[in-house]
Chains A and B, each alone.
Chain A
């Protein structure tokens, strides 16, 4: 059964269309991550589901029931806000309990419910504090507790880790999946952080400018991003994007990078002469010997050691930048000339004009098989 169905949602503010004919199904118990840059309409979409904003067109169905005209308090969803939105004049206990008091539960039941969720989120020792006496992390947990305490079947989390520091964000990113799984609720999670999206989502819905651009498993989105923009947003360091024009060679279609031919297996003659963008993930490139066939000569510009990997910025003869990523501790050149080899099975080819991924039919089906 689907918990949430959005049908052809349109939302305009003045003349600006914020959500443009958006449809989405979320299955029971699924964790869907809504990912996109700021201004994409993610938060508006979430509020529309919660019922605090009305759509101009389209229907919102929750648990199969049409809730489009139903007020927020009768929709039975839980929501955590990016800015926490705690009630400043109530202590943490009353903040969390607010989701239970509306149901006229008994005092004991409320205390028990709040105690349980507070313990789960490790804030049981600060329940008597007012929000201004709470640390950012505690505020965020209180806001989360308030969303969870009523065990709503649909949980909306609007970038809850945005306003907490990096350490806490990392902790919560590990803790949240367990927590959400224990709730058994259907979750819509909004974020701008692709790592969070990959870590938390059963599926990721990528949104730009009020439209859903791609929906798929994290692996799908990473391996076969539907558009250049999506490829650019997923991955750190950013994917290398090179303007190329495919040409016909004796053993299939190829593109030229720094005078070296890079074969594009699976592509046919239909793309020859077309303006394209070649996407190569930094981890699909490795340093190699000059003698290796197909090695691309480059100059090493700078090396950035990160904890678990080392990222090297290289320049081709024509001045194009290529980032190379390798596991930390493996040897590699620090300066001067070097050579790169590209795993051409892992390259992505985009139509430059439309920005859409071009996929040869046999390759696409094979990749999908691997991902599943």
Chain B
């Protein structure tokens, strides 16, 4: 980088700080709220000075919600478990199906391949509400409503197109000659896929998987309609904090902190791949 004048450096610092504060403030505020009681949260004017308490986290982990009206049972930890299970399995299934499909779309131009690929992508265009009503009916007929299997199936609408299209771009970026060279050296097409295409597209597959995981984790509406309490993920489970005796802000904040932790940790860990992966996909025409 070129040398900057001191003034430039200061202005740059201020600008960066502003941006960071703007985007980080909600997260910081939620973090602070999660250590407060409802009373301190609702103080006017609000203050950052308070005696921290772990009650909110304790309530979530034990599943006993203390409200003015008495003790309520909540299934937050179970919701969290559901979220992890649903997201992990959905992404795993989507990778298993999507990566070979992406390879096929990238390498073998067959009749109608573009149409099929585009149809799969179009699942991402349609608002979920559009398919929700018929889907609910089908699922009831098929006996799939309120099953993990059914939810994971529906989650493929979210994960599969994402993985397919990002990974396809990666496979297309691999020079065909490199794969030809491996074939000519005497290896089958499957060995070529496994030993050449997969490792070379690795960062892209990781990025697509991560992104799909985040989308699956954040999904609300499918889980709301298609699952009942014991199968619901955290996004839906958080509704339980709106109780008859008021909204439990402290517990909601704690729940949010707990529920964003896995995705945040994953995203921080794989940040490099994520940015690289997405921008590579973007540059590819």
A-B residue pairs, 4 tightest by C-beta: A102-B186, A85-B177, A99-B185, A72-B183
* Residues of B contacting A76 in the complex (Cβ-Cβ under 8 angstroms): 186
* Residues of B contacting A103 in the complex (Cβ-Cβ under 8 angstroms): 186
B183 touching A146, Cβ below 8 Å:
no
* Residues of A contacting B177 in the complex (Cβ-Cβ under 8 angstroms): 81, 83, 85
* Residues of B contacting A52 in the complex (Cβ-Cβ under 8 angstroms): 180, 183-184
* Residues of A contacting B123 in the complex (Cβ-Cβ under 8 angstroms): none
A146 touching B200, Cβ below 8 Å:
no
- Please tell me which stretch of A86-94, A334-342, A353-361 contacts chain B, meaning at least 4 of its Cβ atoms lie within 8 angstroms of it: A86-94
Q: Which of B175, B187, B199, B200 contacts A102 (CB 8 A)?
A: B187
Contact with A along B89-107 (1 / 0, CB 8 A): 0000000000000000000
CB within 8 Å of A: which residues of B? Answer: 175, 177-178, 180-189, 191, 196, 199-200
A79 touching B184, Cβ below 8 Å:
yes
* Residues of B contacting A89 in the complex (Cβ-Cβ under 8 angstroms): 199-200
B184 touching A78, Cβ below 8 Å:
yes
Q: Shortest beta-carbon distance, B187 to chain A, in Å? A: 5
Interface centre among B184, B188, B196 (most CB of A within 10 A): B184
Count of chain A residues near B, Cβ 8 A: 27
Q: Shortest beta-carbon distance, A153 to chain B, in Å? A: 14
Give 30 CB contacts A-B under 8 Å: A47-B180, A50-B180, A52-B180, A52-B184, A71-B188, A71-B189, A72-B180, A73-B184, A73-B187, A74-B186, A77-B184, A78-B184, A79-B181, A79-B184, A83-B175, A85-B181, A86-B178, A86-B181, A87-B181, A88-B200, A89-B199, A98-B181, A98-B185, A98-B187, A99-B185, A99-B186, A102-B187, A103-B186, A150-B185, A150-B186
Interface residue SS majority, chain B? helix
* A51 interfacial contact with B, CB 8 Å: yes
A51 touching B184, Cβ below 8 Å:
yes
* Residues of A contacting B178 in the complex (Cβ-Cβ under 8 angstroms): 85-88
Q: Shortest beta-carbon distance, A170 to chain B, in Å? A: 25
* Residues of B contacting A74 in the complex (Cβ-Cβ under 8 angstroms): 186
* Residues of B contacting A85 in the complex (Cβ-Cβ under 8 angstroms): 175, 177-178, 180-181
Q: Shortest beta-carbon distance, B234 to chain A, in Å? A: 38
* Residues of B contacting A83 in the complex (Cβ-Cβ under 8 angstroms): 175, 177
Residue of B nearest to A72 (CB): B183
Kindly state the separation between the CA atoms of A321 and B182 in the bound complex, as whole angstroms.
51
Q: Which of A218-254 contact B (CB under 8 A)?
A: none
* Residues of B contacting A73 in the complex (Cβ-Cβ under 8 angstroms): 183-188
* Residues of B contacting A75 in the complex (Cβ-Cβ under 8 angstroms): 184
* Residues of A contacting B200 in the complex (Cβ-Cβ under 8 angstroms): 88-89
Kindly state the separation between the CA atoms of A89 and B189 in the bound complex, as whole angstroms.
18
Interface centre among B177, B182, B186, B200 (most CB of A within 10 A): B186
Given contacts A85-B175, A87-B196, A89-B199, contact A146 B181 (CB under 8 A): yes
Kindly state the separation between the CA atoms of A81 and B200 in the bound complex, as whole angstroms.
19
- Excluding A85-B175, A87-B181, A98-B187, 14 further A-B contacts by CB distance (< 8 Å) are A73-B185, A73-B186, A73-B187, A74-B186, A75-B184, A78-B184, A79-B181, A81-B177, A83-B177, A87-B178, A102-B187, A103-B186, A146-B185, A150-B185
* Residues of A contacting B186 in the complex (Cβ-Cβ under 8 angstroms): 73-74, 76, 99, 102-103, 150
* Residues of A contacting B185 in the complex (Cβ-Cβ under 8 angstroms): 73, 98-99, 102, 146, 150
Q: Shortest beta-carbon distance, A158 to chain B, in Å? A: 9
Residue of B nearest to A43 (CB): B177
* Residues of B contacting A47 in the complex (Cβ-Cβ under 8 angstroms): 180
Given contacts A83-B175, A85-B175, A88-B200, contact A98 B180 (CB under 8 A): no
A98 touching B175, Cβ below 8 Å:
no
Interface centre among A51, A74, A99 (most CB of B within 10 A): A99
Kindly state the separation between the CA atoms of A47 and B188 in the bound complex, as whole angstroms.
17
